[in-house]
């Protein structure tokens, strides 16, 4: 069942409920759960800009959600495809099931795009699968890992912090979109050339944010506007840039007092 609630497109089928809603200009947020109600945590999305409005239409049991440069369509059985304003596909769910026999990718292998596997305690092992829509796509970001590769396409990444490893699951694509896996749990991201998947080993909700843009700067600015911007470094934070041999000659306090700030940068 598809219906509209305020600025949100809602899909319900069996035990699953899916929300597609605006979350900033040219951006949307997708959530799904199989619990009795949608969890309300926003996690990394600190604030919801109020300057975006979506155009939602439901025709012939198919929903369309437009917000500026981004558009999402969802079929009557729940398959989501995200594209830009030019009609180019950015993300398409990887579904290989028999639910929709009219889908060109209908298959008997029975692989769900949004797979919720129940685990003890009431949570789910969640796997979100996408088609790899272009063999030439390059993906950057995702935090800091001990590896030499800048382009992460084809990589298998652990979504967890370790000593000398920082997981920040925001991916910047050469296709013109940014993708935030908005789940703080431990998991895995596989950015394959055939299938891209994101996993959370224990969670109650699928939650991701996507933005479309014409340049990396535009995408990163949109990302910062919803997750929080880095504050300006205070002047005392620049002291660490003093050359050690200078600090050794005279007391550091003399430099703090007399050296103009512009000379410290």
Domain ranges of the chain: 2-230, 231-265
Q: Among 96-100, 154-158, 232-236, 250-254, name the most confident range.
A: 154-158
Rounded to an integer, the average pLDDT of 239-253 is 50
DSSP summary character for residue 73? E
- Structural contact between residues 16 and 30, judged by C-beta atoms closer than 8 angstroms: no
How deeply is 240 buried, as exposed, middle or buried, from its count of CB atoms within 10 A (0-12, 13-18, 19+)?
exposed
Greater confidence (237 vs 125) lies with 125
Percent of the chain with pLDDT over 90: 79
**What is d(CA 19, CA 78) in angstroms, rounded to the nearest whole number?**
11
Greater confidence (126 vs 237) lies with 126
Closest by CA to 103, choosing from 84, 120, 78, is 78
User: In the predicted model, what is the mean pLDDT of the chain?
Assistant: 90
Q: Is the pLDDT of residue 160 over 90?
A: yes
Give the per-residue pLDDT at 255. 43
Give the per-residue pLDDT at 237. 66
Cα dihedral sign, 224-225-228-233: positive
Q: Is the pLDDT of residue 240 over 80?
A: no
Residue bearing tokens 């967890």: 160
Give the per-residue pLDDT at 238. 64
2-230 CATH choice from 3.40.640.10, 3.40.50.720, 3.30.565.10, 2.60.40.1760: 2.60.40.1760
Distance of alpha carbon 37 from the chain centroid: 22
> If pLDDT is split at 50, 70 and 90, which confidence band does 239 have?
low
Percent of the chain with pLDDT over 70: 88
Give the per-residue pLDDT at 61. 84
Least confident range of 173-182, 216-225, 256-265: 256-265
Rounded to an integer, the average pLDDT of 161-180 is 97
> If pLDDT is split at 50, 70 and 90, which confidence band does 51 have?
low
- Structural contact between residues 52 and 27, judged by C-beta atoms closer than 8 angstroms: yes
Residue 195 main-chain phi, psi, to 5 deg = -135, 140
Give the per-residue pLDDT at 241. 53
User: From residue 204, how far is each of 22, 156, 189, 201 by CA, in Å?
Assistant: 21, 23, 18, 10
Q: Is the pLDDT of residue 118 over 70?
A: yes
Q: Is the pLDDT of residue 226 over 50?
A: yes
1-9 contact pairs (CB < 8 A, 24+): 2/58, 2/61, 2/62, 2/63, 2/74, 2/76, 3/58, 4/56, 4/58, 7/53, 7/54, 7/56, 9/54, 9/56, 9/58, 9/63, 9/65, 9/72, 9/74
């Amino acid at each position: 069942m598809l219906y509209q609630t305020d600025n949100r497109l809602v899909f319900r089928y069996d035990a699953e409920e899916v929300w597609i809603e605006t979350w900033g200009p040219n951006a949307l947020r997708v959530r799904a759960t199989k619990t009795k109600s949608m969890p309300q945590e926003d996690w990394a999305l600190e604030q919801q800009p109020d300057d975006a409005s979506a155009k939602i239409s439901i025709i012939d049991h198919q929903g369309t959600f437009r917000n500026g440069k981004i558009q999402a369509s969802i079929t009557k059985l729940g398959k989501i495809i995200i594209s830009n304003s030019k009609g180019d596909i950015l993300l398409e769910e990887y579904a290989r099931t028999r639910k929709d026999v009219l889908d060109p990718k209908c298959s008997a292998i029975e692989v769900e795009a949004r797979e919720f596997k129940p685990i003890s305690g009431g949570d789910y092992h969640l796997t979100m699968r996408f088609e790899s829509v272009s063999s030439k796509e390059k993906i950057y970001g995702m935090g800091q890992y001990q590896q030499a590769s800048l382009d992460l396409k084809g990589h298998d990444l652990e979504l967890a912090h370790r000593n000398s490893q920082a997981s920040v699951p925001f991916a910047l694509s050469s296709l013109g979109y940014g993708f935030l896996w908005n789940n703080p749990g431990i998991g895995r991201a596989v950015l394959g050339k055939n299938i891209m998947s994101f996993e959370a080993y224990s969670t109650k909700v699928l939650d991701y944010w996507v933005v479309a843009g014409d340049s990396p700067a535009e995408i990163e600015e949109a990302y910062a506007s919803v997750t929080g911007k880095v504050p300006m470094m205070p002047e005392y934070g620049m002291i660490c840039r003093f050359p050690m041999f200078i600090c050794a000659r005279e007391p550091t306090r003399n430099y703090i007092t007399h050296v103009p700030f512009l000379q410290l940068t």
